[in-house]
Amino acid sequence: MRFALLAFILLFSSSAFAVLPANVLLFTSADCTASSNGNPVDLSTISAISLQSVSTGDCTGTVKLQVSNDPGPKTPGGPKTVTNWTDLASATISVTAASKLILAKTEVAYQWVRVVYTASGGASGTLNVRLKSMSY
């Protein structure tokens, strides 16, 4: 009986046990002629990430990772107000035309990450960005 109660508490108590899905689509068919900031992703249980950018059409710009250690609310599905963002060094991809690019595995020790796309030209096209995460 004690083990059943312990299992119940671990499953349904704190969100500290929540794990980011291992493969998340952050931008879906985003207009690559306009700059865009992605939503914050909680990294509290994550130790490494990688990123893939797939663009179609005539896209020109950069995809970069920004990180933050702002505490922010931990409510699953709730709003995440993160204010202080910093560019992650060596975590930028240059997008030109239709391309499939990867940002290699990057170890992370931050509370939050987001993807930022900065358009610098191009007439039309879409951008998909996928984040892969893992915990050690």
DSSP annotation of 111: S
CA–CA dist 2, 10 (Å, integer): 12
CA–CA dist 84, 93 (Å, integer): 22
Residue 125 has pLDDT above 60, yes or no: yes
pLDDT at res. 83: 86
Q: Give per-residue pLDDT as tens, 57-78.
A: 999 999 999 999 888 666 555 5
Q: Which domains does the chain possess?
A: 19-134 (2.60.120.1110)
Q: Would you state the structure tokens that stand for residue 35, as one six-digit string?
A: 């700059």
pTM: 0.77
Instruction: Judge whether 49 and 131 are in contact, CB under 8 Å.
Output: yes
Q: Give per-residue pLDDT as tens, 9-27.
A: 333 333 333 345 688 889 9
